[in-house]
Chain A
Amino acid sequence: MPRRRRREFTFRLLGMIATGIGIVFLGVFFSSLVAQGASAFKQTYLQLDIELNEDVLAPGGQLDLAYADFDSLVRTALRKELPEVSSRQDRRALYRIVSVGAAYQVRDLLEENPGLLGTTQTLWVPASSTIDMLIKGNIDANLEEALRPVSDRQIAWVESLRAAGRLETRFNKALFTNGDSREPELAGIKGAVMGSLYMLMVTLVLSFPIGVAAAIYLEEFAPRNRWSDLIEVNINNLAAVPSIVFGLLGLAVFINWAALPRSAPLVGGLVLTLLTLPVIIIASRASIKAVPPSIREAALGLGASQTQVVFHHVLPLAMPGMLTGAIIGMSRALGESAPLLMIGMIAFIVDVPGSLTDPATALPVQIFLWADSPERAFAERTSAAIIVLLGFLLVMNLAAVILRKRMERKW
């Protein structure tokens, strides 16, 4: 008896330790992610009084937005803030504290409102990513000058700008409204998010109806014989095939044979459809099987046809399970990156995709691209993108749980 009790105690202890280790790892993962990524949601901005000088912008009296020299306006404004900077070399260092995005911002302003030509506008423009890192403390100012990417002079200028209230960290809107960029301070996830959404749209529209139809056929209509057994085994095996294989298949069939555009969310969605179909079919079949046979018999006994039984009774009862399966499949598709690499969705794409055939990338691939970048500022943006991706996954899984709880019926 005491030995039995001791055994039970040891077993419980082991279980608790295992759970504890799991929770600790999860905690470490999330806390490091938040610690690294949280700062990416803020960005350092400089306030500049930019004179929209007609002589600079429209030398021939004609404003051409594509060729006008917005850079020099920003530089002039910067020089006005720090008039003591005089040498050519110093000026060049000074220009590097502001992002190249500042010029685009001025151009966009003028494009929207050409009447501002000739006036002076006070704008908050993004600081360059090295200055941003310095302000956020990711670059140690106490290091030897040669070992850090900012010079002593640049630090002094930034300090004086900060003292004058001309430098602030604000919410990083660019992270959510911009596409990818070589400049970390301008890079955003909108392009990747849109690409992922387009792909999921294609995947959902294709895989849910096909998967449910296949499940209904296999479960309710198909004769039970060697062929249906073979199909069942194959579906179960397909669900376990490594995703990169589906990517290769997509490359061969959709791009090489069907000549669909490369890097397009349409092809990505098709590949992810192949990937999620087995998952949805298996989940749907399980939920169809869970419908009690007494309901089927009741309907059959009343003179309902097989099709009526399926559509009036089985399908409504199995729907919550099917939807849950679909959402789980979708969240797997959202997190998938390997097959997308094969069909060219890893390209560096700046524009936010506007249609299914525009070149695009996906959120997990964007994370991979950023994690590959050498700039320090991309590290925090990688974490931020992971947080956004996990947020999407969390919302989807939560939706699946809520759906299951709310639509659950008792019989």
Chain B
Amino acid sequence: MTEVTPDKQVPPPAPNRRDAPAVENTVLREMPKRKTVLSGETVGNIHSENPFMVAENVNVHYGDNHAIQNVSLEIGKKEVIALIGPSGCGKSTFLRCLNRMNDTIDTARVTGKITLDGKDIYRKEQDPVALRARVGMVFQKPNPFPKSIYDNVAYGPRIHGLAADRAELDNIVYTSLERAGLINEVKDRLDEPGTSLSGGQQQRLCIARTIAVNPEVILMDEPCSALDPIATARIEDLMDELCEDYAIVIVTHSMQQAARVSRRVAYFHLGLLVEVDKTDKIFTNPQHKLTEDYITGRIG
């Protein structure tokens, strides 16, 4: 790989939303010492001010394939952290470690330590089912159950016994839909199937379904990749609101989205966590050559 000269620096993606971090439009006069090689070391700062979920030296193997290697990362309370990187770099795999969804894949083997609120989620007595109620997940493709809108949202509270009676359940469903910004669109048609909604509405229904079980962390695996820009904007607004109560980990392929919604960004490459830092730092002054290449569109 050739050394990049400062004048070739591409300006970071312009923030186009009011609440995106103010990015300094500075041209780097002095070439900082930049790492160019891919080693197991993570540059930047993996620590969070208020860590809630902590991953230490996490390795995942799918059979013989070493999917992610020695990833250590802290996820803060009420913080949005974006995982970016080219396809197949292991960001989704890491995300699925956080609520032990990898357990459902027979060949997957996870080593290392991940703690939630100080407790190891891979310890023996941890029930993955109980964990997933605390760490909710929203998927790439909207996947409402083929049931009514009401039943979609009510399913989680029902299986976890969160509501004592019908009125309480109604209340949970209503507030969840309200928080997901969907209530005005669906309040007259709660009995209609969830699949009758549009793609963006379906994804918000899935978010409502996730927050109905009152999780502490929400994992989002490319939640907007199947949506149009307007629906995407609504989901991003929603994330801004939700991060007041929840920690959100979002995997995204859109650099703009990462810049808009996240406070911190983690860049993955070929199973390694290359760089973690504050969003504005990553987009204006990445420490690693690979990060820079990726966010400027040279790779990925």
Residue positions of A touching B, CB distance < 8 A: 223-224, 292, 294-305, 308, 312-313, 317, 409-411
How does the 8 Å CB contact mask read for B184-220 relative to A, with 1 for contact and 0 for none? 0000000000010000000000100110010000000
| Bound CA span A118–B147, Å | 72
Q: Residues of B within 8 Å of A, CB-based: how many?
A: 27
Closest to B136 in A: A301
30 A-B pairs with CB atoms under 8 Å apart are: A292-B143, A294-B143, A295-B145, A296-B104, A297-B137, A297-B139, A298-B145, A298-B206, A298-B209, A299-B145, A299-B155, A300-B104, A300-B132, A301-B99, A301-B136, A302-B132, A302-B133, A302-B209, A302-B210, A303-B133, A303-B156, A303-B213, A304-B129, A305-B129, A308-B159, A312-B155, A313-B145, A409-B146, A411-B146, A411-B195
Q: Which of B129, B139, B145 is the one whose CB lies under 8 Å from A303?
A: B129
Which residues of B pack against A, CB within 8 Å?
99, 101, 104, 106, 129-133, 136-139, 141, 143-146, 155-156, 159-160, 195, 206, 209-210, 213
Contact between B156 and A294, CB atoms less than 8 A apart: no
Residues of chain B contacted by A298 (CB below 8 angstroms): 139, 143-145, 206, 209
Known A224-B106, A411-B195: A303·B143 in contact at CB below 8 Å: no
- Judge whether A303 and B130 touch: CB under 8 Å: yes
Smallest beta-carbon distance B225→chain A, Å: 14
Contacts of B130 in A (CB 8 A): 303
Query: A223: which B residues are within 8 A, CB to CB?
Result: 106
- Could you tell me the dominant secondary structure of chain A's interface residues? helix
Q: Which residues of A contact B144 (CB under 8 A)?
A: 298
The reply to whether B159 and A302 contact each other, CB–CB distance below 8 Å, is yes
Residues of A within 8 A of B137 (CB): 297, 301
Specify the chain A residue showing the minimal Cβ separation from B194: A411
Listed residue (B101, B138, B143) with the most chain A CB atoms within 10 angstroms of its CB:
B143
Which of A301, A304, A305 is within 8 Å of B210, CB to CB? A301
Min CB distance, A302 to chain B, in Å?
A: 4
Q: How far is the CA of A411 from the CA of B104 in the complex (A)?
A: 22
Q: Considering only CB atoms, which chain B residue lies closest to A409 in the complex?
A: B146
Nearest 10 pairs of A and B residues by beta carbon: A303-B133, A301-B137, A294-B143, A303-B132, A302-B156, A298-B143, A305-B129, A409-B146, A411-B146, A303-B129
